């Protein structure tokens, strides 16, 4: 039996974070949340398991790119989803790694769930 996927969601917009966490939990995912990049990094530096980091790119302090880079240096096998309202052309080449995917805003949560299932096919909610 495959273990439940553990997701860390880092999003500074409280309402979006709340709805996303509830949606992911309702789908059966184990979700931890962080209100900014620094809080997300603290979780990634802990001994808590994280299979997937979902982070907004634009956050005050430590942004999503910085969080993703720091997280992958600590957990190279972790998958990362960067949420952005920007087009592909503005996403820096540095984040175009196999473990990093970009998910564009605005979105509906059903699309987010499908996206997660595509990048984490061996895990289950």
CATH code of the domain covering residue 12? 3.40.50.2300
Is pTM beyond 0.85? Reply is: yes
Q: Is residue 124 part of a domain?
A: no
Mean pLDDT of the chain: 86
- Percentage of the chain lying above the pLDDT 70 cut: 82
pLDDT higher than 50, residue 1:
no
pLDDT higher than 50, residue 2:
no
Distances (CA, A) of 118 to 77, 113, 115: 16, 9, 5
Q: Is residue 35 part of a domain?
A: yes
For residue 67, give every residue at least 6 positions away whose Cβ sits within 8 Å of its Cβ, in sequence order, or none. Answer: 10, 37, 40, 41, 44, 53, 55, 59
Write out pLDDT tens, residues 23-79. 999 999 999 999 999 999 999 999 999 999 999 999 988 999 899 999 999 999 999
Q: Is residue 23 part of a domain?
A: yes
Q: Is residue 125 part of a domain?
A: no
**What does the alpha-carbon distance between residue 12 and residue 63 come to, in Å, rounded to a whole number?**
10
pLDDT higher than 90, residue 86:
no
> H or E stretch including 21?
helix 14-26
Q: Is residue 34 part of a domain?
A: yes
User: Whole domain around residue 11: which residue ranges?
Assistant: 6-119
Of 120 and 23, more confident: 23
What total of structural domains would you count in the chain? 1
């Amino acid at each position: 039996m495959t273990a439940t996927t553990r997701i860390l969601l880092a999003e500074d917009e409280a309402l979006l974070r709340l709805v996303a966490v509830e949606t992911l939990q309702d789908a059966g995912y184990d979700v931890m949340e962080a209100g900014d990049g620094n809080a997300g990094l603290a979780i990634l530096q802990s001994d808590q398991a994280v299979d997937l980091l979902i982070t907004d790119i634009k956050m005050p302090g430590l942004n999503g790119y910085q969080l993703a880079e720091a997280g992958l240096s600590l957990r190279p096998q972790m998958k990362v989803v960067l949420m952005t309202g920007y087009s592909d052309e503005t996403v820096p080449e540095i984040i175009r790694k196999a473990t990093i995917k970009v998910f564009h805003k605005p979105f509906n949560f059903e699309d987010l769930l499908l996206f997660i299932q595509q990048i984490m096919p061996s895990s289950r909610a």
